[in-house]
């Protein structure tokens, strides 16, 4: 109740407008994009708390050291040990099988944009767990933010990413100059592929 109250207060005074499709009713990988500002984290929490979504997000272990650990975990953070990334997928699968409804927030365009490709972790987690992908967005041009459609990935990376690109085509992010085009390195043809055809 406290989180929903805080969220209502935030949206009442924010210059951003929440415009969203219905909250997912099953566990989902919640893509946060374009990720171009630290304010995206605040907006993500405000969206989730307003819609009643239990969110978890992945963060490097250093964020959870000392006094920050309990705070970050309380906000839904899951520390990631880069030496054992498979453990995260196993933990997520366990929550799915337990029947917990939650959103696992992933920012595939990296830390506040500026990369050539999106990171493919969100795609791998969704495919390995059987979770759908919900497209969260921030758009400075309309000053709107919220959740878009929830889609099931097919395993055809290029086709799935075409659907994701179409949704984000007109979304600029809080800092448009930092926006990264939704594209995975895995979409590129293998070297020499043209020569074999």
Handedness of CA 106, 110, 113, 116 (dihedral sign): negative
Q: Which is nearest to 88 in space by CA: 42, 29, 19? A: 29
Structure confidence at residue 134 (pLDDT): 96
Q: Which is nearest to 175 in space by CA: 61, 46, 36, 39? A: 36
| Phi, psi at 185, each rounded to 5° | -60, -30
CA dihedral (59, 62, 63, 69) in degrees, to 10, reads 110
Structure confidence at residue 162 (pLDDT): 95
Structure confidence at residue 197 (pLDDT): 43
What pLDDT, in 10s, does the model give residues 106-150? 888 765 556 788 888 889 889 988 899 999 999 999 999 999 999
Average pLDDT over residues 59-63: 80
**43 to 16, 61, 126, 136, 186: CA distances (angstroms):** 9, 23, 23, 10, 30
* Percent of residues, the chain, with pLDDT higher than 70: 87
What pLDDT, in 10s, does the model give residues 15-57? 999 998 888 888 899 999 888 888 888 899 999 999 999 888 8
Q: Do residues 179 and 108 make contact, with C-beta atoms less than 8 angstroms apart? A: no
Instruction: Give the count of beta carbons closer than 10 Å to the beta carbon of residue 197.
Output: 6
In this prediction the pTM is 0.84
Structure confidence at residue 113 (pLDDT): 53
pLDDT tier, 75 (very low <50, low <70, confident <90, very high otherwise): confident
Which structure tokens are listed for 155? 């395993």
> For the chain, how big is the Rg over CA atoms in Å?
17
Q: Do residues 83 and 51 make contact, with C-beta atoms less than 8 angstroms apart? A: no
pLDDT at 196 over 80: no
């Amino acid at each position: 109740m406290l989180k929903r109250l805080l969220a209502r207060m935030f949206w009442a005074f924010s210059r951003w407008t929440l415009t969203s499709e219905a909250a997912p009713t099953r566990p989902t990988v919640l893509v946060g994009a374009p990720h171009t500002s630290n304010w995206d984290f605040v907006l993500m929490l405000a969206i989730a708390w307003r819609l009643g979504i239990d969110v978890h997000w992945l963060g490097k272990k250093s964020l959870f050291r000392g006094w920050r650990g309990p705070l970050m975990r309380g906000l839904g953070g899951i520390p990631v040990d880069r030496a054992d990334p498979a453990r995260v997928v196993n933990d997520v699968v366990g929550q799915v099988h337990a029947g917990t409804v939650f959103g696992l927030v992933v920012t595939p365009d990296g830390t506040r944009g500026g990369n050539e490709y999106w990171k493919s972790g969100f795609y791998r987690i969704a495919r390995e767990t059987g979770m759908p992908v919900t497209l969260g967005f921030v758009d400075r041009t309309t000053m709107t933010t919220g959740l878009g459609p929830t889609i099931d990935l097919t395993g055809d990376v290029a086709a799935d990413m075409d659907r994701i690109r179409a949704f984000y085509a007109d979304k600029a992010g809080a800092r448009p100059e930092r926006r990264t085009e939704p594209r995975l390195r895995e979409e590129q043809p293998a070297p020499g592929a043209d020569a074999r055809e």
